[in-house]
Structure 1
Amino acid sequence: MDMSIFLVVSMFAVLVGFLLTGFPVAFTLGGTGLLFGLIGMATGTLDATFLEILPNRLFGNVVRNELLFAIPLFVTMGVMLEKSNVAEDLLENMGRLFGRMRGGLGISVTIVGALLAASTGIVGATVVTMALLSLPTMLRRGYDQSLATGSIAAAGTLGQIIPPSIVLILLADVISSAWQQAQLDAGNFSPSPMSAGELFAGALIPGLILVGFYIFYQVVVALLRPNSSPAIPQTEGETLDAAFYGRLLLALAPPMILIVAVLGSILSGIATPTEAASVGAIGAILLGAARQDNRTRWIVMVSLAALLALLTLAGTMDLRMSRAVVPTPDRVAFYLAIVLTTAFVLGLGWSLFKIHRAGVLGDVMRSTLRISTMIYAILIGAALFSLVFRGLGGDDAIENLLHGLPGGQFSAILLVMVLMFILGFFLDFIEITFVVVPVVAPALLAMDGTYGPIWLGVLIAMNLQTSFLTPPFGFALFYLRGVVPDSVPTITIYRGVVPFVIIQLLALLLIAFEPGLVTWLPDLLF
């Protein structure tokens, strides 16, 4: 066997072995890359100058990568919404709205899970939050344990596929680099990039289809097995009067407006994902503060009114004061803009003060720092690993392997999807995104095919989502098992998620054979 092939295979095997031991991912990636880099230089297989590229690679791909700035901002948005009890209010009011029909609580869990997925994009947090808030109620109302736990686990994994999602942000960065590399290898020296907004648009319709499949399944189960998902008796429920719908609107409208503002600004091209993430983080802070007391709620409303007035002013008036002649209306508008900006900043400062006094801000910042640091550390380790892997000829070996498969692109994609599905039992999505995707994506995108990087990215995201839900090793099941009471056996959880795994596989096959479900919206918008 050629020495470079031997080192490539050994490198990947050692990496997976260390990851399975539970050793920290960032150190495993960096340490494995450095170890085999030294072995490669000692055996003459790796040119030492290859490692000299690392500082420039880190500076260009990590430090100056504006897309990655969105990660701590989206994490802040998600954690703030989680800790400010937005999910609790949504579940309570949705449960009252749909609870009077059979399967209503399960439908409520799916809808709220989809909203939280679009708000947070963090799978573990969504599963745990949904389980803590909804499972006791579902079991108390006589829901079948399997159906209840399966519904919660499936709804929690929607954060993988419904944008804006941390998974899609990271995948967009990796797939875009692979797409440009594939174009360069094909002789196109002015490659067209793929933006995160395009991947968001591609994932939106499949995500909504998946939500529809979940709800349809729960309706069918309620019809076929009424005792598995009973309705809440009317005598126990609250009257659905004007006051109830007012509370429902207050619980539903703020997160919906925030989701539309963030996702809509990205899909419409008004803002980049990083800019939209900052809007989401600030909006989540204001939303969290508005829940503290009536006085703060009014301050937040005034701050938002000032912001809307400022945006309107900026869109209708010319606020540049560097012109030789500034008309009086523009000058008045400029000073009014200063007043509005001051009002918004003061409102934001008061909001930060209130959520700090409530003990929420500190928890949010610590969680954001912990998650973001973990992601960036893995990025640095993955950069070293992929550089050495490429220097040893690993990318050429993978490309030759995939190109040599009978059946062409279909066989290659099927093999990669099966590999990722199995690895999803043992590795987190971040590890798979930075270890496996950069290795296989350039080879897949270089093959003859008309589907492109957006379709491949959505296919990978949904495949990983299915893997995280599949017994016995799915990550979502571990999160759920950690908060489910001991009275619910583990085998019951496994039995409950099996129908949802089948639904996931059907959805995966649907987008695999109907790429237009993924590519239609990006083509329309971009």
Structure 2
Amino acid sequence: MILDYLPLFLFALVFILILFGYPVAFTLGGLSVITGLILYDIDFFYLLSLRIFGTMHNFVLVAVPLFVFMGIMLEKSGLAESLLETMSHLFGRLKGGLAISVVIVGGMLAASTGIVGATVITMGLISLPTMLKKGYSPELATGTIASSGTLGQIIPPSVVLVLLGSVLNVSVGDLFTAALVPGILLVGMYIGYILVIAHLNPASAPAITAEESAAFWSTGSTKKVIHAFVLPFTLILLVLGSIFLGIASPTEAAAVGALGAIALTASQKKLNFEILKEVMRDTTFLTCMVFMILIGATSFSLVFRAMGGDKILADAITQAGLSPNLFLLTVLLVVFIAGFFIDFIEIIFIIVPVAAPIFSAMGIDLIWIGILIALNLQTSFLTPPFGFSLFYLKGVAPPEIRTGQLYRGIIPFVIIQVVLLGLVILFPEIVSFLL
């Protein structure tokens, strides 16, 4: 009887050790291998080598290092600074205009990089001091920057969607297409919230002065606007356009994006050997981290299923009489709570593989599930105590910004994300509109 619950005990033990700070990849892989050796024998792990080689031959996953390279290279190009300066003057005369410009730039950077850390740090360094100087409330300024930086989780090209496509065994191109409308809606909801706050409390989101605006527009402003918008839009069109038009697969488009990012950095006269070496080192580090976790998760999945863990969960759901909708809400709640404590990559590789076969058996559209999980995972970057977006922003924020202000600032944006998640659950057409 106790042996029947061994898979669930293994699952719980993995979570406990991760919460105590043990490395995720080695916790998943190590526990699984030890359990497999105790219950089975060394020959059992021949299957593991086959699975790892299968992962290594997965063409879709090649997009991960390419998109990471593209994002880090664009961070070095200086285009974000140019975009933020231009957008702040385009919307600056509007109350809340600086915050709106941050959201729009966050969306554009998401569509051209997809790297949350790079976006948050860049916008935090450039726009946060300016917003505070102009009289923005610290809560609104930090909340806007932190949440806008996470748009790279849902707006394609997104590393999250690439990993989810691999785990759910669905087309990454379809996930990119399905995520476009929710991503645009989220940007619109952020802007709507800022406009409401600026109307209710103008002192918290003042407009820039007429003198500052006039000074910008009087000195080659047209050239600045064209320069700031044309280059990023060109890259976005090359990457996303080639995917949506069926010209290239996501992996091929990622290669185009990586090459385009090099060209854009060179056009800004920022490309040199030191920058190239730094970008390649950071890309290698992040890619190795992702794939080590993937190998650990593959080991865990193999042992968990060999022990009948997936069957135990399926039987428990059947006996509990959970409807597909109730099971969906349960999984989303688990993912949301897990996001408070562990990273999105770990959630994708631990929770999603266990739930995916059950969703599939229930006849639920896995593309829709992928978008729901991606939207849910986006909150993990904003929810304390381990919200990475908060860590990134706190690291570059002026000393007068307190942690409490940062936490209060992100609450409305987390609520907005949860509201959008609810809308996508109630109206699946939002996801299937472009498919």
Q: 1:403: how far off?
A: 3.0
Partner of residue 3, structure 1? 3
Return the alpha-carbon distance in structure 1 between the equivalents of residues 80 and 367 of structure 2: 31
Return the alpha-carbon distance in structure 2 between the equivalents of residues 134 and 239 of structure 1: 16
Q: 1:242: how far off?
A: 8.2
Partner of residue 110, structure 1? 103
List per-residue Cα deviations over 1:224-273 (Å, max 9, x = no partner): 11100111101123342582122111111111110111011111111001
2:131 is equivalent to residue 130 of structure 1:
no
Instruction: Give the letter aligned to residue 158 of structure 1.
Output: L
How many pairs are equivalent?
434
Partner of residue 92, structure 1? 85
Q: 1:401: how far off?
A: 2.3
Return the alpha-carbon distance in structure 2 between the equivalents of residues 90 and 254 of structure 1: 10
Q: Is the 8 A contact 1:425 1:475 kept in 2?
A: no
1:434 aligned residue (349, 370, 375): 349
Partner of residue 211, structure 1? 187
2:285 is equivalent to residue 370 of structure 1:
yes
Instruction: Give the letter aligned to residue 31 of structure 1.
Output: G
Return the alpha-carbon distance in structure 1 between the equivalents of residues 229 and 319 of structure 2: 53
Q: Is the 8 A contact 1:163 1:200 kept in 2?
A: yes
Q: 1:48: how far off?
A: 5.7
With normalisation by structure 1, the TM-score equals 0.80
Q: 1:472: how far off?
A: 4.3
With normalisation by structure 2, the TM-score equals 0.96
List per-residue Cα deviations over 1:428-484 (Å, max 9, x = no partner): 1111111110011111221144xx011000000001112322344433222222222
Q: Is the 8 A contact 2:342 2:386 kept in 1?
A: no
Partner of residue 413, structure 2? 500
2:71 is equivalent to residue 78 of structure 1:
yes
Partner of residue 209, structure 2? 233
List per-residue Cα deviations over 1:494-523 (Å, max 9, x = no partner): 11111111111110100000000001212x
Counterparts of 1:45-194 in structure 2, within 5 Å, are 49-60=43-54, 62-176=55-169, 194=170
List per-residue Cα deviations over 1:401-445 (Å, max 9, x = no partner): 233334410110111111011111111111111111001111122
Instruction: Give the letter aligned to residue 484 of structure 1.
Output: A
Q: 1:118: how far off?
A: 1.2
Return the alpha-carbon distance in structure 1 between the equivalents of residues 272 and 20 of structure 2: 39
Q: Is the 8 A contact 1:124 1:479 kept in 2?
A: yes
1:200 aligned residue (176, 186, 198): 176
List per-residue Cα deviations over 1:50-83 (Å, max 9, x = no partner): 42211111111x1110001111111110000011
1:251 aligned residue (207, 228, 249): 228
Partner of residue 376, structure 2? 463
Give secondary structure in 1 for the equivalent of 2:239: helix
Q: Is the 8 A contact 1:399 1:440 kept in 2?
A: no
Partner of residue 335, structure 2? 420
Partner of residue 491, structure 1? 404
Q: Is the 8 A contact 2:343 2:380 kept in 1?
A: no
Return the alpha-carbon distance in structure 2 between the equivalents of residues 405 and 90 of structure 1: 53
Return the alpha-carbon distance in structure 2 between the equivalents of residues 444 and 50 of structure 1: 28
* RMSD after superposition: 1.5
The structure with the largest alpha-carbon Rg is 1
Return the alpha-carbon distance in structure 1 between the equivalents of residues 138 and 251 of structure 2: 41
Greater Cα shift, 197-206 or 120-129: 120-129
Partner of residue 356, structure 1? 272
Return the alpha-carbon distance in structure 1 between the equivalents of residues 431 and 344 of structure 2: 21
Partner of residue 258, structure 2? 281
Instruction: Give the letter aligned to residue 275 of structure 2.
Output: V
Give secondary structure in 1 for the equivalent of 2:320: coil
Structure 1 gap segments, 5+ residues each: 42-46, 177-193, 293-353
Return the alpha-carbon distance in structure 2 between the equivalents of residues 494 and 405 of structure 1: 37
Q: Is the 8 A contact 2:115 2:152 kept in 1?
A: yes
Evaluate the alpha carbon distance shift between residue 401 and residue 49 of structure 1 in structure 2; reply closer, same or farther with a 3 A threshold: farther
Q: Is the 8 A contact 1:203 1:458 kept in 2?
A: yes
Evaluate the alpha carbon distance shift between residue 378 and residue 471 of structure 1 in structure 2; reply closer, same or farther with a 3 A threshold: closer
Partner of residue 23, structure 1? 22
Return the alpha-carbon distance in structure 2 between the equivalents of residues 106 and 407 of structure 1: 43
Partner of residue 312, structure 1? none
1:402 aligned residue (289, 294, 317): 317
Q: 1:23: how far off?
A: 2.0
Give secondary structure in 1 for the equivalent of 2:228: helix
2:238 is equivalent to residue 261 of structure 1:
yes
Partner of residue 343, structure 1? none
Structure 2 gap segments, 5+ residues each: none
Instruction: Give the letter aligned to residue 414 of structure 1.
Output: L
Return the alpha-carbon distance in structure 2 between the equivalents of residues 37 and 240 of structure 1: 68
Q: Is the 8 A contact 1:262 1:280 kept in 2?
A: yes
Q: Is the 8 A contact 1:97 1:240 kept in 2?
A: no
Return the alpha-carbon distance in structure 2 between the equivalents of residues 65 and 9 of structure 1: 29
Q: 1:130: how far off?
A: 1.4
Q: Is the 8 A contact 1:405 1:412 kept in 2?
A: no
Evaluate the alpha carbon distance shift between residue 10 and residue 149 of structure 1 in structure 2; reply closer, same or farther with a 3 A threshold: same
Return the alpha-carbon distance in structure 2 between the equivalents of residues 81 and 272 of structure 1: 21
Return the alpha-carbon distance in structure 2 between the equivalents of residues 25 and 482 of structure 1: 24
Give secondary structure in 2 for the equivalent of 1:236: helix
